[in-house]
Amino acid sequence: MKIALFTKIDLNENNNHIFSIIESFIKNKIEFEIDVDSYDAISNLNNKFISDNTVKNFKKLNSNFDYVISVGGDGTILKSAKEIGELLIPIVGLNKGRLGFLANSKVEIIDDILNKLKKKEFNISERSIIKAEFEGLNKFALNEISVSRKNTTSLITIETKIDHQYLNTYWADGLIVSTPTGSTGYSLSCGGPIIMPDAKNFVLTPIAPHNLNARPLVISDRKKIEISINGRENECFISVDSKIYSISIDSSVIISKASHYLNMVEFKDDNYLNTLREKLMWGKDKRTEQ
C-alpha cells in the first residue's frame, strides 16, 4: 500500500499532528510520500525525518499511489482533488480545520484509519466534478463555480440558459453553480439547499439578487448551463473552487458535468449523515446540556 500525503504546513503553528502521522506511517510500515511544498516546510521544522531519508516527496501524483490522505480543512481537500484529477485515487480527509464537511475523520485515529485501509473496511462515495469553459480554458471544480462582480458596487446582469433554453436573467452580485458536494459550502451560505453527495444534480444559487423572487434552483447534472455576463465594469470574476480568474465582462461561460469524478473514502463512523448532524448540530438541544 502506497499513500500520498497532502497537507498545509504553517511555520507559525504547532505541526506535531503531521509528525505524528508520519510516525504512524513508519510504525505501520506504510510506504508514503509527501507533497513537495509540505516536504520543504518540514525540512525547516524537523530535520530528523529529512536527514535519514525517511520522508520522500512527490511533485505530481501518478497511478502508483493507492490512496491520498489530505490533512487540514476542506481547502486542502480541494487542492488534493485538483492534483488527483482523472486518476481516481481514493482520498481520505483528516480534519484539522474548522467547519469541514469534506475532511471529516480525526487525525488522532490515524492508526485505525490505516488499518481499515489495509483491510478495505470502507465505502467509496463518488463525488461529481463540475467543468467550466471560458476564454479558451477548461477548469474543473469539486465544490462550485461562481461568477461575481469586480471593482464595483453595482450589480451585474447574468443571463442564464439551460440546454440552450432561456431560464432567467439574474441582477445580483453573482451566481453560484454548485455540485452536491459543494452544496454545504458557498451555496449554503447564500441560502441554497443541502443535497446528498450521490444526487445527480447541480444547484444554481444567486448571490444577493436584486430580484427577490430569484430563488435557488436544483437541476439535473446532465444539463449544460450557459452564462452570459454584463455590467458597468470591463471585467468580472469567475471562481473555480478556490482559484479566481478575471475575465471580460462580456464573456460566455459554459458549465457542465465533467467526465471524471472524485472517489471519497467513507468509514462507517464518519459517513455523510453523521457529518451533517455533527457540523450542523441537528438533534442537539443546548438547553439540556450540562
What pLDDT digit, counting tens, does each position of 261-273 carry?
A: 999 999 887 778 8
Mean pLDDT of 53-60: 83
- pLDDT, one tens digit per residue, over 96-107 is 766 677 877 888
Tracing cell 453595482 back to the chain, one arrives at 154
Residue 78 has pLDDT above 80, yes or no: yes
Mean pLDDT of 10-17: 76
- 55 grid coordinates: 520522508
Instruction: Give percent of the chain above pLDDT 90.
Output: 65
Q: Kind and range of the H or E element at 112?
A: helix 110-119
Mean pLDDT of 126-153: 94
Instruction: Burial-class residue 139 by CB neighbours within 10 Å (0-12, 13-18, 19+).
Output: middle
* pTM (predicted TM-score): 0.89
Say how many C-beta atoms besides its own lie within 10 A of residue 206's C-beta.
Answer: 25
**Residue 163 DSSP code:** T
272's CB contacts (< 8 A; 6+ apart) are 125, 196, 197, 266
Catalytic residue from among 35, 74, 173, 270: 74
> Backbone phi, then psi, for 267, in 5-degree steps?
-95, 160
Give residue 108's pLDDT: 87
Domains defined along the chain, listed by start: 2-122+267-288 (3.40.50.10330), 129-260 (2.60.200.30)
- 220 grid coordinates: 439535473
Mean pLDDT of 226-244: 92
Residue 147 has pLDDT above 60, yes or no: yes
Give residue 119's pLDDT: 94
Q: How far is CA 120 from CA 28, 112, 115, 230, in A?
A: 16, 12, 8, 51
Active site residue 285: no
The angle that helices 110-119 and 16-27 make with each other, rounded to 10 degrees, is 40
Average pLDDT, the chain: 90
Q: How far is CA 2 from CA 72, 222, 285, in A?
A: 20, 35, 43
How far is Cα 215 from Cα 206, in angstroms, rounded to an integer?
A: 7
- Please, are residues 55 and 36 in contact by the beta-carbon 8 Å criterion? no
- Please, are residues 129 and 140 in contact by the beta-carbon 8 Å criterion? yes
Residue 144 has pLDDT above 60, yes or no: yes
Q: Residue 49 — very low, low, confident or very high, per pLDDT cuts 50/70/90? A: low
Q: Kind and range of the H or E element at 267?
A: none
Report residue 104 CA to chain centroid gap: 12
